[in-house]
Structure 1
């Protein structure tokens, strides 16, 4: 995962490679879940350097192991995220002046451009996590960080909306949408990007002590959340209809799982909003029943996971595009569902079950269920390692070697 990245030309590049950076950022979040739910951080909602340092000095051997493993995981995948992000931004700059870019802007694949703001929105979340874990005293200035993070998310959300303006404006005024190439859920990528912006904007609602900051967070995150839901619902129905008529596109089959990460980020946004509403506007003032919400949305994720697995297996996707000889940038779509399921399980176990007394916190059932999340996380790490070797290791890519020469 840490080998040198290859040089690229526009003809070798796809905006879907931003999903590689997105996946690494998602794994950063998955390791942060270890610190969030398995280590003590009394009086504050998230683990910080100062709380983690106390664990290092006073914690049990198991807690210190979790701290070390989780901290290394956060650092490693944050580094990989930013490395891949920089590589993508440099490659994207070349791609924008190529004929391939102009061709993409006039086709269904124009939605792939939303992978860039999607990855950048994840970067804001990764920056926040890294700051919490590795910078002493950061919580004392967090109220100053929230406005900066909000402005960054609004800028990214504005970029995403501008890309959607061009796409929807072209399609709805000129036509040209190719329904024969819509036999996948690839068109859900804009919903994913807007949902990622929404979850970033919802963070102050859950953590800020200032009512004004929290309410602004609730309003802004709700806007992007509703946009994601509307676009997602429309494209979900259209994509499913075209797949029923034509069958799923074999190369785009992983998009059947893109619903899973969309639901996870929207769920986290709703959990944050619920906490903010209860804390600032009075308990029960429109809050969502966390247990029911997490249980129902997890069930939807499992349903789409099973549906996607049926199609992927029949197309032999893993044997062809993951461990086999065929290469597709869309393979990185597989990383997001693994991360999303692992993170969602942590929220379900801790906020739906343990917090409501359904299971004993840190008991046998608790750790048994947590092991499921860790197993999914481990499988996703293997997937990232396998795909990165296949797509980015110059020693495996004759075309990139030729480019370098």
Structure 2
């Protein structure tokens, strides 16, 4: 990487170097186990000029999202979160049967199905053919496309301007942040709203959530850098909400610059928090790499001690973040026998790089392991309840982030 993708500066400072790993969603079939895998550097840097944290764009969205392994609807808590958002947005913006809602990166229709249920006209824009088809099968109108200025203008011409454009957990996934933002502006009505949810770099740094750094995530936003990114496409940040999702996210409410008005006090308050944390300077990033190294040492020490004591550790979940963690720590089947996942697409496949088998969830009850390492730690409350049965045989849950924690569970 030589230049910042937002401001063009060549002054990029290292935050943490996680080595080279395969793309986190390229799960292997059994037939691929004797084949080589492509790996790419995973080195987070921050721009000294505009403070956008970013990794080099070494893979393209087309590499990842033409066929995608992630289906949002497999997380009940995430579907519920989307439902609450839709209900709140309808009330906040006064949406009705005459309104039009567009979601970018709409996945399998997990959010727009709530819009359909409200009788509001909507359209999903989803680049992945397989998950987009799942949305259409569920009755959610979905266009297979990547968003840019031209495709955004084309959707506006065919369907009309959107009263609300939703872009949840996609603003980090696009290397052309300026072009994507211009696409959002093309979609939204001149008096409309854009709502974006993205992980907050403040919590990523404060809670050492380094496993959310992977090749699909090209940039990592503070509110300050998101404000600059939105402005690059003609949008102005007017309000925010801090959310617990993904370990700590921010919901950005933006409008076309010409009608936006002044930002709310909530925006100003979070900007002040980011300044106090040092994230508007380079000083706030200097200790992150050492905290990452400690997470790695603590997890490996636990796994090695468990293996030496003859105890079994298995995983729960096969999320992208888990593959960053597994690869950075060099964890193989001698330390983690297998992992399980609710997504049938992943069953019988193997994690990229570490090649740990992915099995159906009922394998845990059959195998009765001593410990279950929870890889999607951001779903802690949901999964602690789901996995409470592990306590029936004295098994325990292990959460690696923000620091190693072993939790006893009681069968419900």
- Same fold judged by TM-score > 0.5? no
Instruction: Flag the structure with higher helix content.
Output: 1
Higher relative contact order (CA 8 A, sep 6+): 1
Task: Give the number of the structure whose residues are more often strand, by fraction.
Answer: 2
